[in-house]
Amino acid sequence: MRHIISILMENESGALSRVAGLFSARGYNIESLTVAPTEDASLSRMTLVTSGTDRVVEQIKKQLNKLIDVVKLVDLVENEHVEREISLIKVRAAGNARDEINRLVGIFRGRIVDVTDTSYTIELTGNCGKIDAFLKAVPNDTIIEVVRSGVLGIARGEKGLRL
Amino acid sequence: MELTGAQILVKALADEGVEYIFGYPGGAALHIYDALYQQDEVKHILVRHEQGAGHAADGYARSNGKPGVVLVTSGPGATNVVTPVATAHMDSIPMVIITAQVPSHLIGDDAFQEVDSIGITRPCVKHNFLVKDVRDLATTIKKAFYVATSGRPGPVVIDLPKDITANKTEYIYPKTIAMRSYQPTSEGHSGQIRKAVQVLLGAKRPIIYTGGGIILANCSDKLTELVRLLGYPCTNTLMGLGSYPADDPLFVGMLGMHGTYEANLAMHECDVMLCIGARFDDRVTGDTNKFSPYAKIIHVDVDPSSISKTISADIPVVGSADVVIDKMISQIKESGRKPDAEALQKWWDQIDGWRKVDCLDYDRDSDLIKPQFVVEKLYEVTKGDAYVTSDVGQHQMFAAQYYKFTKPRRWINSGGLGTMGFGLPAAMGVQLAHPDATVACVTGEGSIQMCLQELSTCKQYDLPLNIVNLNNRYLGMVRQWQEFFYDRRYSNSYMDALPDLVKLAEGYGHIGIRIENPADVEGALKEALNDKTRLYFLDFITDQTENVYPMIAAGKGHHEMHLSPRNGGNDEERELA
């Protein structure tokens, strides 16, 4: 099963490599990983998407908690949550295809953020499924480049992951 | 008054109560060595190779419970200490390792003697720190000692750039430290403990299986009280030997790959297992699918990630062994409940039946020196009261099986990582921690050569160690596996051109004795042990064909032990139903 683990870590150099090293050393999957500072400059927030059996995921959480720099973590899929990913997609768009792609962008509520005579760059935000669906909808041979941010997630409700 | 980083480091070590620092100087560490020279609170032990420093500090820590401290230079100094760091990490030994680093402005430039020490050690430390500002140094040292010694202990590396050791600031050493990101649990959930006690008291075929956690938590006395209160059989892991007195009738011996018949079968047949401070290592469990099929498992560990990692626990208890055992004892006493005496008697009858197999029996009348015989004699001559270090291989297993450890912190070996070369430097640390104690290093001619250079350190500091070298001219454990599982194709397990170890010992300024006759074993041991002033290198020429029994082969369960031919084991079949 897929899990989204949100981690608050001390904003120390090397914090990211501790997490990445843990996953490679123990052979755990990482589907995506994002990290950035939070409103508290001393903390970073990391969002990590992984998958595995319940037992493996339980171990992943325990091993992450064992890292000295990890302050708190929560598995977002245990409760209601919102997840988003942003992507920037550059596609070939010339002649008739320009209208077709423009329509698709509208349907998926994306935005075109850069235009040339032969290409569009599209910004699309949503959960992973939506981005996957868009990439399927666009003719494969038109895609020049895809950049995805990896998943960000937050729990629904008034409570926050903070100290 | 402002002090340099180097002075701050040395002062902080003194304030931490550090008695010895094991190390080796080099360019990036020179400011620190200069500061060491100008004080006499912290004594520096100069080794011959950084690996020796690491293992010596480790042996020191294992034998007296205080953190071991190491100081090495950058680059090769740091890489040479990686093996000891990993050794300590696998066995949860508290250590603080200071690796000097090239000056901050050169980091990342591929400077002379530069390596990414933080990156290299990251997977084998409890934590590591790179000091970037001399004003953070004192706090970082405090944190390092706190992290190394609390919760599940482990090694902590401090990487210290040379410029930081020259920069100055006010020295203030924090008395206590709190870290928001690190708050180890020690108490143990009282509801879980209550559940555990109920299950324990209801057991018909119980076993208490404990490991190094008991020794680390200094609670052998409490474990002994608990076991005797219940009257249940107790087995120890390789790391836990000495935490329960081996000469007690409730002790069924070590368990696992080379554990006793009775311990392993009791593990297999038990209906309730209480595991404290052990981690269901693969050398303990054998095939996990065949592991203890009837057992309800209670697992007490200070490290939550040890619980249900390889074997699912039915009743997990996260907490320090001493606190949890204390609570168990008082709850058992308060409950007024007694174990089921009738069931327990039946269980003990069954265990005594297994004991009768006498799985550690060997040919005591052999014309050749049997390695087991040397260890047994060592036990007799030292009256079981020595500190015994070992390296890794057959001799390690013989020492674990035949030296009956009755006290904690007496058996010092690399259990998790299995580091050859550990024994001699570890023995140096033990002897420094206990200057008046008898220290024996049980080793083999393969292992001893891995850190042999430390014989020179022993001379410099007059360490009267007793090196018990079980010399079978083979890498014995490798040879044994090749005999059993590779059709006797002894690939690279025989060492040609062994040095004359007696002359070698003499060359280092020690006393060397070669013993080739079983009748001379006891005399040689007595001679060495009675002389408290000199290091004796006893080179016992042992039977080359001896194997370690019993043995659970890889992929087998506890009930599929292979016994020695003397006990009806068939070496051709290597299986016992």
The ipTM is 0.92
> What secondary structure letter does DSSP report for A77?
G
Based on the residue annotation, tell me whether B477 is a catalytic residue of this protein. yes
Q: Does B491 touch chain A (CB under 8 A)?
A: no
Report residues of chain B scoring pLDDT below 50: 574-577
Q: Which residues of A touch B304 (CB under 8 A)?
A: 62, 65-66
| Number of helices followed by number of strands (H, E) in chain A | 4, 9
Nearest to A76 by CA among A101, A46, A108, A55: A46
Strand order across the beta sheet in which A2-10 lies: A32-37, A43-51, A2-10, A70-75
| Crossing angle between the packed helical segments B394-402 and B476-485, to the nearest 10 degrees | 100
- How far apart (Å, rounded) are the C-alpha atoms in residues B402 and B382? 13
Rounded to a whole number, what is the distance in angstroms from the first to the last CA of chain B?
74
The first and second tokens of residue A24, run together, are 């490679």
pLDDT at B570: 67
Q: Which residues of A touch B123 (CB under 8 A)?
A: 21, 25
Based on the residue annotation, tell me whether B540 is a catalytic residue of this protein. no
Based on the residue annotation, tell me whether B338 is a catalytic residue of this protein. no
pLDDT at B185: 83
B326-331: long-range pairs with CB below 8 Å, 24+: B326/B222, B327/B188, B327/B190, B327/B193, B328/B193, B328/B196, B328/B197, B328/B200, B328/B226, B329/B222, B329/B225, B329/B226, B329/B229, B331/B193, B331/B194, B331/B197
Q: Which residues of B touch A65 (CB under 8 A)?
A: 304-305
pLDDT at B495: 83
Length of chain A: 163
Helix ranges (H only) for B280-340 are: 282-285, 321-335
Residue A91's alpha-carbon distances to A88, A120, B139, B341, B454, in angstroms, are 10, 6, 53, 79, 67
Of B118, B181, B309, the CB nearest to A69: B181
| Mutation to test the B interface, candidates A8, A42, A59, A68, most B Cβ within 10 Å | A68
Nearest to B407 by CA among B181, B187, B247: B247
pLDDT at B302: 97
Contact B470, B440 (CB under 8 A): no
The first and second tokens of residue A43, run together, are 């903390």
What sign does the dihedral B141-B139-B114-A24 (CA atoms) show?
positive
Residue B194's alpha-carbon distances to B154, B316, B324, B325, in angstroms, are 30, 12, 10, 12
* Prediction pTM value: 0.96
| Crossing angle between the packed helical segments B321-335 and B220-230, to the nearest 10 degrees | 30
| Crossing angle between the packed helical segments B5-15 and B137-149, to the nearest 10 degrees | 30
pLDDT at B577: 32
Nearest to B437 by CA among B514, B383, B377: B383
Q: Check B181 against A70: CB less than 8 A apart.
A: yes
pLDDT at B140: 98
Q: Is the pLDDT of residue A163 over 90?
A: no
Determine which one of B90, B273, B477, B551 is catalytic. Answer: B477
Length of chain B: 577
Q: Check A68 against B127: CB less than 8 A apart.
A: yes
Q: Tell me the residues of A at the B interface, defined by beta carbons under 8 Å apart.
A: 9-10, 13-14, 17-18, 21, 25, 55, 58-59, 62-63, 65-66, 68-71, 163
- How far apart (Å, rounded) are the C-alpha atoms in residues B346 and B343? 5
Helix (H, G, I), strand (E, B) or coil at A122: strand
Based on the residue annotation, tell me whether B112 is a catalytic residue of this protein. yes
pLDDT at A105: 97
